[in-house]
Amino acid sequence: MSDPHERKPAFVAVYRPADHFKVAMVKMVLDREGVNYYIENELASLGELPTSGALATRVMVQADRADECKRLLEEEVGL
């Protein structure tokens, strides 16, 4: 059972894009919807860095909008 006073993370991962083209599509949708987000390890999506493990590219959104963002990305980008 979790402590009701425990803080939830401000941002959670909703998608792990495979390349910079998918990163660009995701950013376009999230920008349009006014979502507060960031791309963790965005440079790894350019192919210059390994994309597995600790350097995996992840789309991070506010925890309270995670479900909405997952649905949007699935509907709009087919992710």
pLDDT in the model for residue 10: 92
Convert the pLDDT of each residue in 3-59 to its tens digit.
666 666 699 999 998 888 999 999 999 999 999 999 999 887 666 555 455 678 999
Strands (DSSP E) along 1-79, which ranges? 11-15, 37-40, 58-62
pLDDT in the model for residue 43: 82
In the sheet that holds 11-15, the strands lie side by side as 11-15, 58-62, 37-40
Q: Higher pLDDT residue, 75 or 18?
A: 75
**pLDDT at residue 1 above 60?**
no
Q: Is 47 left (phi over 0), alpha (psi -120 to 50) or beta?
A: left
pLDDT in the model for residue 79: 75
